[in-house]
Chain A
Amino acid sequence: MTLLSVRGVSKRYGGLTAVDQVSFNVEAGELVGLIGPNGSGKTTLLNILSGLAVPDSGEILLDGAPCQGLTPERLAQRGVMRMFQLTRVFRRMNVVDNLLVAGRALGLGADEALLRADALISELRLDVIRHLDAGQLSGGQMKLLEFGVCFMVPPRIALLDEPFAAVHPTMKEIMGDFIRARHEKGQTFILVSHDMPVVVELCQRAICMNAGGVIIDAATREVLNDPRVIEAYLGGHAV
C-alpha cells in the first residue's frame, strides 16, 4: 500500500531550482534511503514533505490525500515527523519535557505521555541525563533526544535528515538498532544520510538526487553501483 506519493514536485529559489520534478512513492513499512551529494536538494525535499516549504508545483499524497502546503504542525498531527540535520531541541527544557511536548501536542494524556517518555529514554539510553536541560547535553545526546521526539507517538512516516552525522559510534548504534527494530514492526522511514555503509545496511531501496532531480530510484546496491551516482558524488566517471 502506498503511504506517500510525491508527484512532479518542484521548488525554485530565484534562479535556482532546488527540487526539480521529483516523483516517487513510498510504500507503508518501507525504509527508503535518500542520498545525494551536498546541495542536491534532499533537505529541501524534506522541508517540503514536512511542511516547512511549499512546493511551486506538483502534488504530495499522504494515505491518498493531498498534503502539500499543510503546516508542519498539521502534518505532525497526520503522522509526518521530521528530524533535522541541524539539531533542534528545546534547550531550556529538560530531556523528559522535550519528549512530553511532542506527546502532549499529539494528543497523549499526561500519564500516557510520561510512560512513553520513560520508555523512550530507557530505549535510547538517556536515563542518566533525563533531568538535564537539553542545552547541557552533548551534540550526540541532543541528536538522540530529537530522534526520540519523533517517536513519542509512532509516526506514519519518519523523515530523518542525517541522524548519524557527527554522532559517537555508540549513539549511532543505538539509533541504528532503534530504526531496525521499528522497521521490523512496520514503521515507515525516509532516511537521508551520507553514511553509505549504514544506508546499505538499513535500506533495501535508495533514491539518489542530484541537482534537484532524482537520478535513480532502485535497490540500494544497484543505486550505489550506478555510474551516474558515482559521477554525482565524485564528479567523474565510474571506473
Chain B
Amino acid sequence: MAQSSSTSPAVQPSGAQLTTTRTTVEFRAALIAMAVVALIPLGVSNPYWLGVLVVSMYFAILAGSWNLLAGYTGQFSLAPATFAMIGAYTTGLLNHYFGTPPLLGIVAAIVVAGLIGLLLGRAVMRLVGPYLALTTLSFAEIMRLVTANSIDITRGDLGLSVAGLMDSRVGWYYLFLGALVLLLLMFYLLLRSKAGLFLQAIRDDEVAARRAGVNVVFWKTAAFAISAAACGFAGALYAHFAELVTPELGLIGQTGLIVSMTVIGGMGTLAGPLVAAFLVYVMSEWLRDVGGYQLVVFAALVVIFARFFREGLWGLAKAAVQRGRQA
C-alpha cells in the first residue's frame, strides 16, 4: 500500500519537527541579530544614535506584533500604531493624573490595549481584505482625533508629560532589547504551539480551517488581542522613554512604517520584520534631510518587495544560503 521507502515514517523527520525547524531557524536567526544589536553600545556611544536604535527597537516590537496578526493570521489591520498610542496614553494618563508607577502603568497599558484589540477584533470578525483594512484605518483615525481633541484630558497636540524610568540611554537600550527578545520568545512559543498551526491555517483558508474544526472566531480574536496588547506594551515603554506622549504616535504614517518594515523584512517570518525595523528606521534617519521623500523611498521598496520578493529580506537571505550550499 504505502510506498516502500528507505526512510520509514518512524525514522524520518516528522512534519511537526520540520515546521518546528523552520520556525526555530527563524528564531535563532532573530536571536543572532539581537545578539549583534546587543553589542552595538560597545562601539556606539553617541546618545543620538543610541536613541535612534531604541526607537528602532520600538518599531521592531510593533512590526513583530503586526506580523503576528497580518503575516501569520492574514488580518490586515491598519491600527498597530494606534494600539501603541493607546498603550502610551494609558500609562501616561495614569501617571500624569494619579501618579501611578510606570511599571504598573505598563501593565495597565498591556491590558487596556489588549481589551480594545479584543473588542475591535470581534467587531471586524467577518471582514477581510480591503474592508478590514479600511475599517481599522477608520478606527485608527477616530482614536487619534478623539485623543488630539480631548484637550482637557490629554492636552491634545501639546502632549502629555510622563515620568521617565531612568536617565541612562544605554539602560533604555537594553531594556528595549530585553522587551524585544521577550516578545520574540513569546511569539516563537506561540507559533510552535497548536495556536500557531491554527493561525496559519486561518490565514491560508478560513473556510478550510472551520471545516477542520478550528474555532476561527476565537483564534482570530485572540490574535487581534495579543497583537494589540504587544503594541500597547511597546507604546507604554516608549512613553516612559520619551517622557512625552502625543497623538502623533498614532499617525497613519507610523503604521506605514510598520507595514514597510514587515513587508521588506518578510511577512509571516519571525526574523525578517525585526531586522528590517532596524534597517528601515536607521535609513529613515539618514534620509531625514530629504524630508518627505523618505516615505517615497519606503513606499517604492514596499512595492518592489511585494511584487518581486514576497518573502522579503528573509526570503532573499534564505535563497542566498541555499545557493551557497549548492555552490
Partner of A73, one of B1, B3, B13, B216: B216
- Which residues A57-111 have CB closer than 8 A to chain B? 71-73, 76-77, 81-82, 84, 88-97, 99-102, 104-106, 110
- Which residues A28-68 have CB closer than 8 A to chain B? 50-52
For the complex, is A200 an interface residue (Cβ under 8 Å from B)? no
Asked whether B210 lies within 8 Å of A76 as measured between CB atoms, the reply is yes
For the complex, is B209 an interface residue (Cβ under 8 Å from A)? yes
Which of B5, B10, B200, B208 has most chain A Cβ within 10 Å?
B208
Asked whether A76 lies within 8 Å of B213 as measured between CB atoms, the reply is yes
Residues of A within 8 A of B213 (CB): 73, 76-77, 102, 105-106
Partner of A94, one of B18, B198, B210, B216: B18
- Which residues B286-324 have CB closer than 8 A to chain A? none
Residues of A within 8 A of B132 (CB): none
Given the known inter-chain contacts A96-B15, A110-B194, A117-B15, please indicate yes or no for A72 contacting B203, CB distance below 8 A.
no
Asked whether B212 lies within 8 Å of A76 as measured between CB atoms, the reply is yes
Asked whether A114 lies within 8 Å of B14 as measured between CB atoms, the reply is yes
B interface residues, how many (CB within 8 angstroms): 31
Asked whether B15 lies within 8 Å of A72 as measured between CB atoms, the reply is no
Asked whether A101 lies within 8 Å of B19 as measured between CB atoms, the reply is no
Query: Contact size class for A?
Result: 35 or more
Residues of B within 8 A of A50 (CB): 211
Asked whether A81 lies within 8 Å of B15 as measured between CB atoms, the reply is no
Asked whether A92 lies within 8 Å of B18 as measured between CB atoms, the reply is no
For the complex, is A130 an interface residue (Cβ under 8 Å from B)? yes
CA A102 – CA B213 in complex, angstroms? 6
Residues of A within 8 A of B15 (CB): 94-97, 99-100, 114, 117, 130-131
Asked whether A127 lies within 8 Å of B3 as measured between CB atoms, the reply is yes
Q: Is the interface of A mostly helix, strand, loop or mixed?
A: helix
**Total number of residue pairs linking A and B with CB closer than 8 Å:** 120
Chain B 117-154 against A: per-residue CB contact (8 Å), 1 yes, 0 no? 00000000000000000000000000000000000000
CA A84 – CA B203 in complex, angstroms? 18
For the complex, is A1 an interface residue (Cβ under 8 Å from B)? no
B13 nearest in chain A by CB position? A131
Asked whether A101 lies within 8 Å of B3 as measured between CB atoms, the reply is no
B74 nearest in chain A by CB position? A92
Asked whether B9 lies within 8 Å of A101 as measured between CB atoms, the reply is no
Given the known inter-chain contacts A89-B208, A92-B268, please indicate yes or no for A123 contacting B200, CB distance below 8 A.
no
CA A105 – CA B214 in complex, angstroms? 5
CA A127 – CA B10 in complex, angstroms? 12
CA A96 – CA B215 in complex, angstroms? 20
Asked whether B16 lies within 8 Å of A121 as measured between CB atoms, the reply is no
B204 nearest in chain A by CB position? A90
CA A63 – CA B2 in complex, angstroms? 35
Asked whether B201 lies within 8 Å of A72 as measured between CB atoms, the reply is no
- Min CB distance A222 to B, Å, is 33
Asked whether A93 lies within 8 Å of B201 as measured between CB atoms, the reply is yes
Residues of B within 8 A of A127 (CB): 2-3, 5, 9
Partner of A92, one of B2, B200, B207, B212: B200
Residues of A within 8 A of B16 (CB): 96-97, 100, 110, 114
Residues of A within 8 A of B1 (CB): 122-123, 125, 177
Residues of B within 8 A of A144 (CB): none
Asked whether A118 lies within 8 Å of B204 as measured between CB atoms, the reply is no
CA A84 – CA B214 in complex, angstroms? 17
Which of B1, B18, B212 has most chain A Cβ within 10 Å?
B212
For the complex, is A175 an interface residue (Cβ under 8 Å from B)? no
A122 nearest in chain B by CB position? B2
Chain A 139-156 against B: per-residue CB contact (8 Å), 1 yes, 0 no? 000000010010010000
CA A119 – CA B198 in complex, angstroms? 22
For the complex, is B197 an interface residue (Cβ under 8 Å from A)? yes
For the complex, is B205 an interface residue (Cβ under 8 Å from A)? yes
A104 nearest in chain B by CB position? B194
Which of A99, A118, A123 has most chain B Cβ within 10 Å?
A118
Given the known inter-chain contacts A104-B197, A118-B14, please indicate yes or no for A91 contacting B205, CB distance below 8 A.
yes
A-B contact pairs, 25 of them (CB 8 A): A51-B210, A71-B210, A72-B207, A72-B211, A73-B211, A76-B210, A77-B213, A82-B211, A88-B205, A90-B200, A90-B204, A90-B205, A92-B204, A96-B19, A100-B194, A101-B209, A105-B215, A114-B14, A117-B15, A122-B2, A128-B5, A130-B15, A149-B211, A149-B212, A177-B1
A sample of 11 more A-B contacts (CB under 8 A), given A90-B204, A97-B197, A104-B194, is A84-B208, A88-B211, A93-B19, A93-B197, A96-B16, A96-B19, A97-B200, A99-B15, A105-B209, A105-B213, A122-B2
Interface residues of B (CB under 8 A from A): 1-3, 5, 9-10, 13-16, 18-19, 194, 197-198, 200-201, 203-205, 207-216, 268
Interface residues of A (CB under 8 A from B): 50-52, 71-73, 76-77, 81-82, 84, 88-97, 99-102, 104-106, 110, 114, 117-119, 121-123, 125, 127-128, 130-131, 146, 149, 152, 177
The 8 A-B pairs of least Cβ separation, nearest first, read A96-B15, A76-B213, A105-B213, A88-B208, A102-B212, A90-B204, A122-B2, A72-B210
